Amino acid sequence: EVQLVESGGGLVQPGRSLRLSCAASGFTFDDYAMHWVRQAPGKGLEWVSGISWNSGSIGYADSVKGRFTISRDNAKNSLYLQMNSLRAEDTALYYCAKAPGQWLVPTYFDYWGQGTLVTVSS
């Protein structure tokens, strides 16, 4: 059974940093691209970032480019999102999502974690 478990969320002040993690199990992690998708409270879904199976291809939404960094450790079956210079508008539930293939695009998301909440507030 595919399982994705996010962690690392919390309350953080504007301008500070936070690192999210996603622990994957139930599938061969290094065969698939992985993504982060967020959902602001009461709002819709927004793709944040994605990384190919071998970290050779990486993409970011314009809203986070230059502030967020995605990475993965295939030996640890883990996905990460380093979030710097956080803003109030980054407040959201952050989901880790698995792609059905190796590459970044084109892709939908076939499995999702339960999310970790990031709140940016002073």
Partner 1 sequence: EIVLTQSPGTLSLSPGERATLSCRASQSVSSSYLAWYQQKPGQAPRLLIYGASSRATGIPDRFSGSGSGTDFTLTISRLEPEDFAVYYCQQYGSSLNTFGQGTKVEIK
> Closer CB to partner 1, residue 16 or residue 61?
61
Q: Exactly one of 32, 36, 68, 95 binds partner 1 (CB under 8 A); which one?
A: 95
Q: Which stretch binds partner 1 (CB under 8 A): 14-22, 23-31, 78-86, 101-109?
A: 101-109
Q: Does residue 40 interact with partner 1 by CB under 8 A?
A: no
Return the CA Rg of the chain.
13
Q: How far apart are CA 68 and CA 55, in angstroms?
A: 15
- Taking alpha carbons only, the member of 20, 39, 28, 22 closest to residue 97 is 22
User: Helix, strand or coil for residue 57?
Assistant: coil
Give me the sign of the Cα torsion angle 56, 57, 61, 62.
positive
CA–centroid distance for 70 within its chain = 7
> Closer CB to partner 1, residue 9 or residue 50?
50
> Closer CB to partner 1, residue 23 or residue 45?
45
> Closer CB to partner 1, residue 17 or residue 25?
25
Q: Exactly one of 12, 109, 116, 120 binds partner 1 (CB under 8 A); which one?
A: 109
